[in-house]
């Protein structure tokens, strides 16, 4: 049963299995285990970024395609929700239309980018995706009437998802079931489902062809696989997943703007998550996303404590000042890439052999 | 009269001013093994690349059972029955031996775009891949990654991938090159096994003349991109043009 759910792709390491179990339990019980709006926000972000990083790994780790247009698809999902909810109404129907149109737009763009440019060498493909993504970001901020420009769009969500909504009169387990919590569980279960779907894709006959293409494109073609078709299908699937991740994030934030969806900083974040976790394994995307988002949100807090604890010692308090958090984040990443070239998952699995 | 299994008509490729393969017209009938010999740089591998589609001909045509394939892609030619084992081993290094063969079996079965079933659930394909590994005597290394295999084992796997495609045309490009002496018989037995099938068309580029003599029904000689001799092995080996162009170097 579990084997089937995970598509036969077991963690293959006790430590990795345990860590994944902890992540799953923590995310599933987040509203009860870590009440408070900030921690729930972090949990929701982790869910969405697991999907986003996993969908990027489908391209980078499995197929060997370097694309910088991933945040564009993520943004299309976000703007799909934003434009529909803002422009039509705060209803489930509008949400459905928004998601459907966003998926359609992503599909068309992914096919066009795929067919036009997957024949060229990897570096040129990366450049083309960068150009398209930049053009899209400019477009999104220029079309103020539709997208809200640089300010983005805030919008309402359906009644049952609003913070003021109460499912029951009485609290459950000491926590009242709010619309916010229902939103979280929509995000959580959708992310879980999307992750399991991705796991199925990479462990299907198709998934193995993608790996073959990554390993030796020339031979994959000689074996009778049309490489361009496989790469394009992989791009489309990955784009669709990113679009859905964007829609989930938009639903959660009730706001969509260039900074939360299209910014190049997010692209770099996703890239780092995949590389740190371990390319070519979707569990790597999970660990990468968890570690990255936790560090982004809590490193400053930890540093403030350390800085206070070391006051009196020369230099250390200054180095550990919360404002230096990006420096330490950078050092952590350089160290992790240096010591775990196959990512954390690769390291954990190798340790068992 | 039946069309030949494979035919090239005035097949030519030019790289700048250099004509690597020069108007080679030749037909290959089903059930025969043709050895292609010639000195290094004579255009043998280039001729193979033109037939299997890795290179596009400047001029001339390639016909498979009478059907023009000159404009088709490599993968399309593979699906029409073209099989090729490469000279320089050309595999998927970080996948296992079993996965490599399985990829070939699955291409033949046409299930590459299946996204929803499990790779490990297709028992028939797995069995076929296992049977193929038995044939090339690699069964006990099935879970090893290709990168960890010896050169000889990689050559065997290269052949297994071609066999798994169940092609009509088998193109061997120096299958025994770089193999240790005790590994060569396995490959020769395999080729003989394919030859026993009456409908297989085999093209073999090979430098070892004893191998060529024992296997070939016919020899063609390429020299400077041109077809210079064509006939039964004994006759071709004895002909003056071969003695001069190819064997002469070895004798001299």
How many angstroms separate the CA of residue A175 from the nearest CA in chain B?
Answer: 39
Percent of chain A scoring above 90 in pLDDT: 56
State both tokens at A188: 């959580």
For chain B, how are helix, strand and coil distributed in percent, rounded to 5?
Answer: 40, 25, 35
Asked if the model's pLDDT at residue A138 lies above 90, the reply is yes
Residue contact A218–B115, C-beta within 8 A: no
Give the pLDDT confidence of B37-48 residue by residue, as tens digits.
988 888 999 999
Per-residue pLDDT, A335: 86
B104 CB within 8 Å of a chain A CB:
yes
Q: Within the 120-139 window of chain B, which residues sit less than 8 Å (CB to CB) from chain A? A: 120, 122
Are B244 and B38 spatial neighbours (Cβ–Cβ below 8 Å)? no
**Mean predicted confidence (pLDDT) in A60-70:** 93
Are B168 and B5 spatial neighbours (Cβ–Cβ below 8 Å)? yes
* Neighbour-count burial for A193-202, b at 16+ CB within 10 Å, e otherwise: ebbebbbbbb
Per-residue pLDDT, A21: 94
Residue contact A7–B95, C-beta within 8 A: no
Give the pLDDT confidence of A27-48 residue by residue, as tens digits.
999 988 888 889 999 999 999 9
**Mean predicted confidence (pLDDT) in A65-87:** 94
Please tell us whether the domain made up of B1-81+167-252 is placed in CATH 3.40.50.300. yes
Give the pLDDT confidence of A233-274 residue by residue, as tens digits.
999 999 999 999 999 999 999 999 988 889 889 999 999 999
Per-residue pLDDT, A353: 43
Residue B107's closest chain A neighbor by CA? A224
Give the pLDDT confidence of A88-134 residue by residue, as tens digits.
888 899 999 999 999 999 999 999 988 877 777 778 889 999 999 99
Whether the CA torsion A149, A150, A155, A161 is positive or negative: it is positive
**Chain B interface test: which of A8, A12, A203, A205 (most B C-beta within 10 Å):** A205
Domain ranges of chain A: 30-280
Per-residue pLDDT, A114: 85
How many angstroms separate the CA of residue A21 from the nearest CA in chain B?
Answer: 23
A208 CB within 8 Å of a chain B CB:
yes
Per-residue pLDDT, B100: 95
The sheet that has B18-28: what strands, in order across it?
B18-28, B6-15, B59-64, B67-68
DSSP B137-162: T-GGGTTSBGGGS-HHHHHHHHHHHH
B113 CB within 8 Å of a chain A CB:
yes
pLDDT-derived band at B245, boundaries 50, 70, 90: low
Domain ranges of chain B: 1-81+167-252, 94-166
Are A242 and A73 spatial neighbours (Cβ–Cβ below 8 Å)? yes
**Chain B interface test: which of A62, A207, A221, A224 (most B C-beta within 10 Å):** A224
A341 CB within 8 Å of a chain B CB:
no
Q: How far is CA B239 from the centre of its chain?
A: 26
Quick one: angle between helices A264-277 and A343-352, nearest 10? 0
ipTM of this predicted structure: 0.89
CATH class of the domain whose range is A30-280: mainly alpha
Asked if the model's pLDDT at residue A284 lies above 90, the reply is yes
**Mean predicted confidence (pLDDT) in A62-80:** 94
B119 CB within 8 Å of a chain A CB:
yes
* Nearest-by-Cβ selection for B74 from A4, A216, A221: A221
Residue B224 is given by DSSP the state T
State both tokens at A152: 């983005």
Are B125 and B109 spatial neighbours (Cβ–Cβ below 8 Å)? yes
B92 CB within 8 Å of a chain A CB:
yes
For A245, residues 6+ apart whose C-beta sits below 8 A from its C-beta are A48, A49, A51, A52, A55, A74, A77, A191, A194
Residue B74's closest chain A neighbor by CA? A222
Asked if the model's pLDDT at residue B78 lies above 50, the reply is yes
Residue contact A222–B74, C-beta within 8 A: yes
Label the pairing between strands B218-223 and B33-37.
Answer: parallel
Q: Which segments within A93-216 are labelled E, that is strand?
A: 153-154
For A114, residues 6+ apart whose C-beta sits below 8 A from its C-beta are A228, A231, A232, A235, A236
């Amino acid at each position: 049963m579990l084997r089937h759910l995970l598509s036969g792709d077991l963690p293959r390491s006790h430590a990795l299995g345990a860590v994944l179990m902890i992540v799953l339990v923590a995310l599933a019980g987040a509203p009860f285990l870590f009440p408070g709006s900030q921690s729930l926000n972090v949990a929701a972000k982790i869910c969405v970024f697991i999907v986003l990083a996993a969908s990027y790994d489908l391209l980078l780790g499995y197929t060997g395609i370097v694309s910088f247009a991933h945040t564009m698809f993520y943004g299309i999902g976000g703007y799909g929700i934003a434009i529909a909810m803002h422009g039509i109404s705060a209803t489930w129907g509008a949400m459905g239309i928004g998601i459907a149109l966003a998926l359609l737009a992503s599909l068309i763009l992914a096919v066009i980018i795929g067919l036009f440019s997957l024949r060229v060498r990897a570096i040129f493909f990366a450049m083309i995706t960068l150009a398209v993504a930049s053009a899209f970001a400019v477009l999104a901020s220029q079309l103020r009437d539709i997208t809200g420009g640089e300010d983005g769009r805030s919008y309402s969500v359906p009644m049952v998802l609003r913070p003021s909504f109460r499912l029951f009169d009485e609290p459950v387990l000491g926590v009242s079931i709010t619309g916010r919590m229902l939103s979280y569980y929509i995000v959580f279960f959708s992310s879980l489902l999307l992750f399991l779907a991705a796991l199925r894709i990479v462990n299907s006959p198709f998934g193995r062809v993608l790996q073959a293409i990554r390993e030796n494109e020339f031979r994959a073609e000689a074996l009778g696989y049309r490489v361009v078709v496989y790469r394009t299908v992989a791009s489309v699937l990955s784009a669709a997943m990113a679009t859905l991740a964007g829609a989930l994030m938009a639903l959660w934030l009730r706001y969509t703007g260039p900074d939360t969806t299209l910014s190049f900083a997010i692209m770099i974040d996703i890239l780092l998550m995949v590389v740190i976790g371990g390319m070519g394994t979707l569990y790597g995307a999970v660990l990468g996303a968890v570690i990255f988002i936790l560090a982004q949100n809590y490193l400053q807090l930890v540093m403030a404590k350390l800085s206070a604890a070391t006051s009196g010692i020369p230099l250390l308090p200054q180095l550990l000042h919360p404002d230096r958090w990006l420096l330490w984040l950078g050092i952590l990443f350089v160290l992790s890439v240096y010591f775990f070239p196959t990512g954390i998952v690769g390291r954990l699995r190798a340790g068992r052999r | 009269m039946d069309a030949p299994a494979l035919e090239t008509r005035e097949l030519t490729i030019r790289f700048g001013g250099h004509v690597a393969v020069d108007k080679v017209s030749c037909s290959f009938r089903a059930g025969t093994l043709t050895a292609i010999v010639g000195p290094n740089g004579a255009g043998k591998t280039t001729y193979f690349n033109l037939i299997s589609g890795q290179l596009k001909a400047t001029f001339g045509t390639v016909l498979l059972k009478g059907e023009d394939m000159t404009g088709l892609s490599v993968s399309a030619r593979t699906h029409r029955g073209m099989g090729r084992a490469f000279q320089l081993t050309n595999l998927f290094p970080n996948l296992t031996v079993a996965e490599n063969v399985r990829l070939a079996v699955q291409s033949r079965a046409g299930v590459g775009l299946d996204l929803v079933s499990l790779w490990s659930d297709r028992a028939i394909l797995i069995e076929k891949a296992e049977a193929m590994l038995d044939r090339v005597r690699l069964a006990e290394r099935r879970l090893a990654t290709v990168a960890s295999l010896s050169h000889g084992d990689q050559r065997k796997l290269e052949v297994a991938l071609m066999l798994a495609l169940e092609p009509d045309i088998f193109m061997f490009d120096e299958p025994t090159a770089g193999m240790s002496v005790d590994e060569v018989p396995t490959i020769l037995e395999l080729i003989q096994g394919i030859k026993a099938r009456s409908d297989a068309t085999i093209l073999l580029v090979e430098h070892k003349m004893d191998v060529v003599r024992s296997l070939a029904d016919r020899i063609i000689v390429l020299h400077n991109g041109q077809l210079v001799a064509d006939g039964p092995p004994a006759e071709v080996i004895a002909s003056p043009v071969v003695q001069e162009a190819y064997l002469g170097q070895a004798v001299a």
